[in-house]
Amino acid sequence: MDFIFLGTSAGVPTRARNVTAVLLHLQHPTQPSLWLFDCGEGTQHQMLSTAFHPGKIERIFISHLHGDHLFGLPGLLCSRSMAGNAHPLTIYGPKGIREFTETALRLSGSWTDYPLEIVEISAGVILDDGLRKVTAYPLEHPLECYGYRVEEHDKPGALDANALKAAGVQPGPWFQDLKAGKVVTLDDGRVINGAEFLAPATPGKKVAIFGDTAPCASARELANGVDMMIHETTLDTAMEEKANSRGHSSTRQAALLAREAGVGRLIMTHVSSRYDEAGCQRLLEECQAIFPATNLASDFAVFSVQRSIFRPLCR
């Protein structure tokens, strides 16, 4: 699980930061996947500086319909089609995402040559592909807005073949059922419980990707115990009241949530264009004073969920 940040600025782009978009690279031996969370203007152009291609994106999750999270979507959809890509794509977002997408394509005389599904969501589980589950949580913002919690299913423990052999159970077709933890009756009449011969399951990784939000009741549940939380820090602590009045959070509030929810690592993003490099460092220090395991995302930064290590991506 790697996050690749394509845009980390709030509202408008700056010389150093584009508007919001982040890729989630789901690494799996047989079913790898690439998901996109929000799609601000210029997202497809930002992808040109990475190793990833829009044609590989399978799912796009839009938090809300403000332009800095959405205006890059029509261009990305059309470029994906013009490249001859035939892989299906599903878009998830609040009510209105269908009208926005279909209207932009229709009025511009555009279309997609690949299967495109648009799902207008409400709070609750919106996806379970057998490997991971995605749950949408309502946030506090002037427009309907959601945060997404992605949870990998636990990986079943390995079957202890040596222990089975010691118990006199020979290899056979029943090993598959035993590996699934099922109870099997052998040819000699013995009943074997597979769960007794399995190593402990490996817990799946959990991440929380917040849209724009002021502090709200659902935030704690969305972030509870995740390995990594991506949260906006639009303004500094001194401007907290202004941030909240516009449906945003301060550095202090994001850090307090990370601490109270017991997250592994906080990644700050969605930073106001008013902050230069020195200002961004001050924002980071405000968060780290409360929650030390904090990093500030920059465009083209990569964060590994497994190890929570920051790595700059070469451009």
**Which residues neighbour 245 within 8 Å (Cβ) at sequence distance 6 or greater?**
none
Residues near 165 by Cβ (< 8 Å), separated by ≥ 6? Answer: none
Question: Six-digit token pair at 228?
Answer: 């990594």
267 with 257: CB under 8 angstroms? no
Measuring CA to CA, which residue among 22, 103, 11 is closest to residue 60?
22
Which of 23, 145, 136, 4 is closest to 76 using CA atoms? 23
Instruction: Determine which one of 2, 38, 68, 113 is catalytic.
Output: 68
- Whose CA is closest to 16, among 285, 239, 243, 297? 297
The question of whether 68 is a catalytic residue gets the answer: yes
Q: 185 — phi, psi (to 5°)?
A: -100, 120
Give the catalytic positions in this structure: 68
